[in-house]
Structure 1
Amino acid sequence: MRVSVSMYSLASTIRKENWSIFDFVDYAKRISLDGVELLDFYWKEDDRQREIERVKQALKENDLVVSAYDVSNNFVKESREERAKEAGKVLEGIKTAKKLGTNIVRVFCGDLHGELTYEDGQSWIVEGLKQCAKKAEEEQVYLAIENHGLLAGKSEQVKEIMEKVNSPFVRSTFDTGNFLLVHEEPQQAFDRLKSDIVHVHFKDFRVKGAAEELKGFKSTEGVELIGTVPGDGQVDLASIVDGLKDVDYQGWLSIEYEGHDDAKESNEEAVRRLKKLLG
């Protein structure tokens, strides 16, 4: 297993210090990573086309590779035209991933809005992923569904969607922390999805204290969770790592920190802890 950090883990630093992708690559080298996880929304379309070769050169010079390329799509749209636009984002993401040398595109299912439920949106999600899976199969690129947010956040929902899409290239980005937002034990979720995992987000949350003023993430039952350095929260990360070893997982473990402490220091500590768990 190799270790990377998602650029999103440095979101607060990126805002405060106006980091570019090149700044992130330099940071990744300093903390001895194997790779970096890049995201579509940190790149404007024109910049991406213009800078991609420069990014590849910077990665090469720093002995790094791209672990995954993340697309922030949402298939839960009521009009066919809107859903086609979201599929276009994923299809473009496949092209970018190929150029960057990764075979993982992290994808979302969609977000809840209005009175829509998972049951309402499921057919749209399956329709969109089926459309994109054809190109993914041609290019041998995995579309890795993240258990994200409150829609399709449960392992049984992710599993059901994968089964309905029925493509060997639609698999799981297993986010260790996000299951807590839908009140599912991460270890239970792992047991259900372990044969489908092609990408892992190494993340942790804790319950917000009664007197704390920090802004957290609301669960489906209204519990507010605060991002932490992995190991300081509720996820038994050692158990997950042991489980990955048991199934001979050879892919990436990508840290995704969503807390309020200094992002550079927190990610560096997370890398140290993860490498210790990996032995």
Structure 2
Amino acid sequence: MRVGCCAYSFRDRLNSGAMTLEQFLDLAAGMGLDGVELTAYYFQQTDRDSLFHLKRECFRRGLHIAGTAVGSNFCQADAARRHEHVVMTKQWIDHSVVLGAPCIRVFAGPVPPGHTEEQAVAWAVACLQECAEYGAQRGVVVALENHGGITARAEQVLRLVREVDRPWFGINLDFGNFRADPYREFAMVAPHTVTTHAKTHWSGPSGEEPVDYARALQVMKAVGYQGYLNIEYESKPDPLTAVPAFAAELKAAIQQLSA
């Protein structure tokens, strides 16, 4: 397994302009990470030359672009709004091709007020199928994150996997987003996982609890997972100091797994 970092981990600095994406790359390289996930929210330009420039800067720093990420919502009741999010996702699939990113993270969305989960699932499945089919044409895997809404529980995620049923569709397993019985749920979705987000904590019944990565990585090893653990840092301490420490923890857990 490899350790990467999501640009989202430094969202406050990126949003305020205190950090650029290239400075984020410097930090990732300085931590000795294998790659980065480049979140769509933080791109100032997405023209071809700008994307090529960022691709070159990753290469110069020895970083693989593990994936991109968009904030899609395919559960909106308005069909025109759903279509807008499909178009946006396809645009970012195209950007991913230019960047050389093999994967794009997407969200399904929540059930909108006044509607049922069955309706939301049907809308999301149709959108995800369209995106996955486009991803297949462009060589980019569409990875659905367990991110609340109709993906809050492993059973819901697996239903979407079954109903979308496309070879270029998989799961972005976020180790911090299952609330009920996370390690059981990790095992349920692990066979369909193509990439991951590594948070430091998950929200349990008694509050935030640290993710036991020795245990979580055993689950992933059991299904032959060899992909990325992309750090998605959301905790209180400053990410400039906390992310490097967490990266070292993940690297140690991987080494222990191989011992």
**Letter in structure 1 aligned against 2:46:** R
**Structure 2 match to 1:277:** 253
2:70 counterpart of 1:71: yes
**Structure 2 match to 1:106:** 105
1:152-191 correspondence to structure 2 within 5 Å: 152-180=151-179, 184-191=180-187
Given the alignment, which residue of 218, 222, 230 partners 1:246? 222
| 163 and 53 in structure 1: CA distance in 2 versus 1, 3 angstrom threshold | same
Unpaired runs of 5+ residues, structure 1, are 208-218, 227-232
Q: Distance in 2 between matches of 1:201 and 1:277?
A: 15
**Structure 2 match to 1:268:** 244
**Structure 2 match to 1:193:** 189
Normalising by structure 1, we get a TM-score of 0.85
- Over residues 76-120 of structure 1, what are the superposed CA-to-partner deviations in whole Å (9 max), with x where a residue is unaligned? 111221111010111112111111112111010013442444333
Unpaired runs of 5+ residues, structure 2, are none
**Letter in structure 2 aligned against 1:43:** F
Answer with 28-37 or 11-20: which moved more. Answer: 11-20
1:10-21 correspondence to structure 2 within 5 Å: 10-15=10-15, 18-21=18-21
Given the alignment, which residue of 180, 195, 198 partners 1:202? 198
Answer with 34-43 or 47-56: which moved more. Answer: 47-56
**Structure 2 match to 1:215:** none
CA contact (8 A) 1:13 1:264 kept: no
Q: Distance in 1 between matches of 2:186 and 2:67?
A: 20
2:137 counterpart of 1:138: yes
Q: Distance in 1 between matches of 2:170 and 2:95?
A: 19
Tell me the CA shift for residue 268 of structure 1: 0.6
| 206 and 9 in structure 1: CA distance in 2 versus 1, 3 angstrom threshold | same
Q: Distance in 2 between matches of 1:259 and 1:117?
A: 33
SS at match of 1:198: strand
Flag as ranges the 4+ runs of structure 1 deviating above 4 A: 223-226
SS at match of 2:226: coil
SS at match of 1:33: coil
- Over residues 4-39 of structure 1, what are the superposed CA-to-partner deviations in whole Å (9 max), with x where a residue is unaligned? 000111123334562111111111111111101111
**Structure 2 match to 1:81:** 80
**Letter in structure 1 aligned against 2:174:** D
CA contact (8 A) 2:105 2:145 kept: yes
Q: Distance in 2 between matches of 1:245 and 1:27?
A: 28
Tell me the CA shift for residue 136 of structure 1: 1.3
Tell me the CA shift for residue 75 of structure 1: 0.6
SS at match of 2:171: strand
Normalising by structure 2, we get a TM-score of 0.92
